[in-house]
Amino acid sequence: MITQIRGKLVEKNPTYAVVDCSGVGYLMHISLHTYSSLPNDENVLLYTHLSVREDAHTLYGFSTKMEREVFLLLTSVSGVGPSTARTMLSSMTSQEVQQAIASEDVKLIQSVKGIGAKTAQRVIVDLKDKVLKTFDVDEVSVVQNNTNKEEALSALEVLGFVRKQADKVIGGILKETPDASVEMLIKQALKKL
């Protein structure tokens, strides 16, 4: 029904934003990624989704169409409501969500608050084909990077580093150089850990 809102940003909070559009203030629930991309009090354009339930009409705002599409895909899965989808998009970027689904990374999806093992598996089963077709994610590179990442993480764990810290560092390295080899990942991570 309401697909986008353009107006002056009146209020900005990590969980919601209020946009004044011709004298009417629209409260939109947003992810942390959308929050960080919003200016302080300028004119903004947010892509929206109106969730209608018996007890509430809730407007969700997104800085990009891609984030909105991933949100809609996530909410199409049984057991994943708008709040859980927003939490997932606050924990990971829409690209990271797509990569996690395409590479069947149950642990990463399960790491989001409110998502258990069964729901994480359901997300992958229901959305993997859609993600690969809709967003043109290259499955081969996803699996390759995931394998390289896992090997590098295992090596760093053997060297005595905490997996969680190593995972963050390697994730950052993969953002800069997605086709990094295992050796390169380990060398770069050792410099940053």
Pick the range with the lowest mean pLDDT from 13-22, 106-115, 119-128, 130-139.
130-139
Position 69 pLDDT exceeds 70: yes
Specify the pTM.
0.68
Average pLDDT, the chain: 86
Position 39 pLDDT exceeds 60: yes
Position 139 pLDDT exceeds 70: no
Query: pLDDT class for 146, splitting at 50, 70, 90?
Result: low
Could you tell me where the beta strands, DSSP code E, fall in 63-120? none
**CB-based contacts of 30, cutoff 8 Å, min separation 6:** 15, 16, 17, 38, 46, 60, 61, 62, 63, 86
DSSP 3-state of 174: helix
How much is the pLDDT for 140?
44
Position 133 pLDDT exceeds 90: no
DSSP 3-state of 7: strand
